[in-house]
Every structure is written in structure tokens, then in C-alpha cells.
Amino acid sequence: MKIQEAYTRWSATYDYDRNGTRDLDRQVTEGTLADRNCQNILELGCGTGKNTALLDRIGRKVLALDFSPGMLQQAKSKLKTDHVFFVRADLTKPWPAKTGSFELVVCNLVLEHIEDLDPVFYQASQSLKAGGEFFVSELHPFRQYQGTQANFLSEQETVEIDAFVHHLSDFTEAARKNGLSLKSMNEWWHEEDLNKPPRLVSFLFEKRAA
């Protein structure tokens, strides 16, 4: 199913469905970013706001982008704050973000739905201040090699969402070409993943000084 339509359909139940990947992503993001203190944060693909509340705590202002009206509606209904600005935007097109104005850009479980990583990494780099960080958390490609992709149950039907496989080197190469240095990369397992490949991979990149 097309990505925008699928996430809008999923938005009503996304927070309540049994979803180990969603839960693990929240834990990873909290553990990685909870000690940050930022003026401006840009969130790419905020969804229902599962990580936006954390970003609101660690940043004075948050610009949260998503292209699913249903997801944005859910996020707005949950997070009542003057510090977060929700904007509908397609990440494959120019972003409504001011160049060089963010200390942190955050992207969770989004890039599997974008075929070409280079434009995203380019715009992330352009949006960051020198020394700013780009945090990425994604479904691990080892899981994708086995055929795993985002899906949900709708009216007793399993709906699979269009996705693209990105190898680990695709992320690091896209970062290198766009002035971002790798600070850390980690692989993550859910408690149910014993003897399985890692479920998530996370990267923390830093924008190099010009």
C-alpha cells in the first residue's frame, strides 16, 4: 500500500497495536538523546508523536514534520505545548526548515520508506548548525533481508507498507557525501529477539565545520 495512505489508515491504532519495533525505537531514542539540551530540534516523520514528547523536554523549540494527516492529528491531540510546531511535509521535497538553525535533527523509522537517501542527508546537513547532530533510528537491514517490513492489521487484513532496503554502508556513505561524520552506530534487539538478527540500527552523525 502507498505510504501516505497506509500511515493515515494506521494512525488511529498505531499507539495501541502490539509493536515491538515501535517500543524499542522509543527506548533507544530516549536512551540516546535524553541528556541533550537544545535550542532548536527538527523531527523528520514525527508520526503520532511517540518521540516528540521527549524532544519537547530536551529542546526549547521543536519543528515536527510528517506527511500523513492522520498521524499529525494524533500527535497534535496528545501533545499540548507551545514549543512544538507540527507541519505537514513530504521529506522527499524541500523542507520548511531554515538553513543552519538546528542543533539536532531526528529521524525514526522513516528512511525505509524513502528510496534515495542522499536528498534527506543533504537537507539534514543543510538544516544543522556546525557541530549539530543527526540521529537516525531504522529497521535493521538484516531484518529487511529476511522480508520484514512495516505492516499493521486493518479489518483482519495485514497491510504491508511500501519499503526500500538500505544497507548499513548506504547510510554512512550518504552522510559522508553530505558533510556528516559518524559519531556512533549501534544495533538493538527487542527482548523477544533472542537468537535473531538485530531489530534496529541507530546512527549518530555530526555536521563537520565548513
> Which run of H or E residues covers position 138?
strand 128-139
Q: What is the CA 110 to chain-centroid distance, rounded?
A: 5
φ/ψ of residue 195, rounded to 5:
60, 25
Q: How far is CA 195 from the centre of its chain?
A: 26
Alpha-carbon distance 58 to 147, whole Å? 36
Q: What confidence score (pLDDT) does residue 150 get?
A: 58
Sheet holding 128-139, edge to edge: 84-88, 59-66, 38-44, 102-108, 128-139, 200-207, 180-188
User: d(Cα 210, Cα 15) in Å, to the nearest integer?
Assistant: 41
Q: Which domains does the chain have, with CATH numbers?
A: 3-207 (3.40.50.150)
Question: Is residue 172 packed enough to be buried (19+ CB in 10 Å), middle (13-18) or exposed (0-12)?
Answer: middle
Q: Residue 1 has what pLDDT?
A: 46
The separation between the first and the last C-alpha atoms of the chain, rounded to the nearest angstrom, is 41
The pLDDT of residue 4: 61
Tell which phi-psi region holds residue 91, choosing left (phi > 0), alpha (psi between -120 and 50) or beta.
alpha
Q: Which residues of the chain have pLDDT under 50?
A: 1, 151-152
Task: Give me the helices (H) in 34-151, please.
Answer: 52-58, 69-78, 118-127, 141-145
* Assigned C-alpha cell, 92: 522527499
